[in-house]
Structure 1
């Protein structure tokens, strides 16, 4: 019996959910190609939206696309589809980051209790996709409860990564690393130019004539440079920031895509618990600084991102590119 393929309308809805993923400077470095005849959906790197100064090795690009892939899988599961995917399926086409085949859950030949539970767990995250927004505002001092921390760890582990909270003595050092890296960014002409271009870039939106058709993306500020309310008077110390380090065992392009999926899954779980989150990967791009993020008391691994978590106010969404700019149907 022939396997049912999703309609173009369904694919459009899934890709729209995928593009709500976070990316460095909101560059949104993805392209989707749907090959209707074969029912295959390709996720490709958008090379015109790469950041050669801020992301010289392409780690953040791969992670952003990995986050979009996770959103796609979540939306697919919620709509009754099983998204079987392969990361970097063609060694001769490095821009092809993932190939996805969508099958109706009832048509999946390898149905099992484990797969059903995984699809249910993914589908349960769907309502968090439009609610997840990066927040650089000050957070309350309330500690993230241990059961929630464990859920975040499990979310990352399900995608083949590790998420560990920095120890109280190590967290301030990691935050200082982020401040140092941000300071270097402002002193580096290439990175500063990219920061200005992508955080103040005008994103085209479909709108009626006469309406404002462009919106800037807000400036990123992981270290809290623009949140003076967080600063305590001299001589006083508040609780250490609640930072979590996302890592994988290896450090290859496939691991970067995996890390992006793990990051977004953890962020969706955090959103479900009313947690605010900010992510920093820029500091790790400075190779002479990145090693500092590794806590010697925690298991070894390549750290790809640092998450700052806490309870804060609602964050504003960043603008998204219209669907016709990110999805091609053939």
Structure 2
């Protein structure tokens, strides 16, 4: 049976779902192209949104685009199509990170359709979480979700958790006096009301969360040395629940797998009633990133550090209009 030709409005709606993905500092480093003739989406990196200091090798760009790719796949499955996906399909085109062809009706066994409702429910929460443990069964499910996408997820405990938290503290101490880090934050944070009301990217002040007064949760202060009127301070978790997502290798293809794993984990966590935020600080320093690896094997490359727990959901943050990031061609 022939399936109806996808309309431009339908294609636009799918990309609207894709761009709900998280990205470092909400830079939204992606572009999409839809080719009508082959019914194929292209996911492309927008290297103009790179962070020269915090993400010099563009690993963060690949992670964000990988998360958007996972959302796109979930949206396509939800609409009844099979998303035939290829990573890095053209070695001569470094910006072309993935292609997704609408390959007939889906026989979804991936579980993506069940995660679809969480796409627009998931928002980063930079508020304190409860000191309530995530059940073992949920932890196992989150690990399995990462594995499906070609990555591994572990919850560091005991001395490993202490080492991770020490790496975060060291990164935060460096960032205080690091000019490059401050420049990245200045570009991608919105402090004043005029910029918040007009910007369609970056982290607005209402999403900063309170300043950390106490606790051990790894929280980046997006305000830096700047003052935000009316912003409160709060005590965060004494025993934060962190998750590390890693891959066997450290190449662009692995970064894309990790980005998809990250988003699948976040969507499942959202469905399970968990809130989440990121702690990218130690991943921005090469010498601090390596000690985060799995201490049992001493191998693997940590790509993502998540904070998970029970707490308030974060606010919606702005997104660029789909018309700005999507091109539709014959």
TM range (shorter): 0.7 to 0.9
Return the offset for 1:171.
Answer: 1.3
State the superposition RMSD in angstroms. 2.5
CA distance in 2, matches of 1:129, 1:33: 21
Point out where structure 2 has 5 or more consecutive residues left out of the alignment: 210-216, 222-231
Task: Report the counterpart of residue 136 of structure 1 in structure 2.
Answer: 126
Contact 1:160 1:248 in 2 (8 A): yes
Cα 1:58–1:225 change in 2 (3 A) is closer
Task: Report the counterpart of residue 266 of structure 1 in structure 2.
Answer: 265
Task: Report the counterpart of residue 230 of structure 1 in structure 2.
Answer: 235
CA distance in 1, matches of 2:81, 2:176: 45
CA distance in 2, matches of 1:104, 1:261: 22
1:147 to 132, 137, 144: 137
Cα 1:271–1:302 change in 2 (3 A) is same
Contact 1:27 1:49 in 2 (8 A): yes
Q: Is 1:218 the equivalent of 2:213?
A: no
Task: Report the counterpart of residue 187 of structure 1 in structure 2.
Answer: 177
Cα 1:57–1:137 change in 2 (3 A) is same
CA distance in 1, matches of 2:312, 2:154: 24
Return the offset for 1:202.
Answer: 9.3
Return the offset for 1:169.
Answer: 2.2
Task: Report the counterpart of residue 13 of structure 1 in structure 2.
Answer: 13
Task: Report the counterpart of residue 315 of structure 1 in structure 2.
Answer: 314
Return the offset for 1:8.
Answer: 1.5
Contact 1:276 1:312 in 2 (8 A): yes
Offset from partner CA, 1:16-43 (integer Å, 9 cap, x none): 0000000000000000011112222111
Q: How many residues align?
A: 309
Return the offset for 1:225.
Answer: 6.0
Return the offset for 1:258.
Answer: 0.5
Corresponding residue SS for 2:108: helix
Moved more, 177-186 or 58-67: 177-186
Task: Report the counterpart of residue 254 of structure 1 in structure 2.
Answer: 253
Task: Report the counterpart of residue 102 of structure 2 in structure 1.
Answer: 102
Provide the TM-score with structure 2 as the length reference.
0.87
Return the offset for 1:182.
Answer: 2.5
Offset from partner CA, 1:32-60 (integer Å, 9 cap, x none): 01111222211111111111111000100
Corresponding residue SS for 1:31: strand
Contact 1:204 1:321 in 2 (8 A): no
Corresponding residue SS for 2:137: helix
CA distance in 2, matches of 1:62, 1:30: 9
Cα 1:177–1:36 change in 2 (3 A) is same
Provide the TM-score with structure 1 as the length reference.
0.87
Return the offset for 1:99.
Answer: 0.9
CA distance in 2, matches of 1:225, 1:38: 43
Corresponding residue SS for 2:198: coil
Contact 2:191 2:204 in 1 (8 A): no
Return the offset for 1:228.
Answer: 4.9
Task: Report the counterpart of residue 166 of structure 2 in structure 1.
Answer: 176
CA distance in 2, matches of 1:322, 1:179: 36
Contact 1:159 1:261 in 2 (8 A): yes
Return the offset for 1:3.
Answer: 6.7
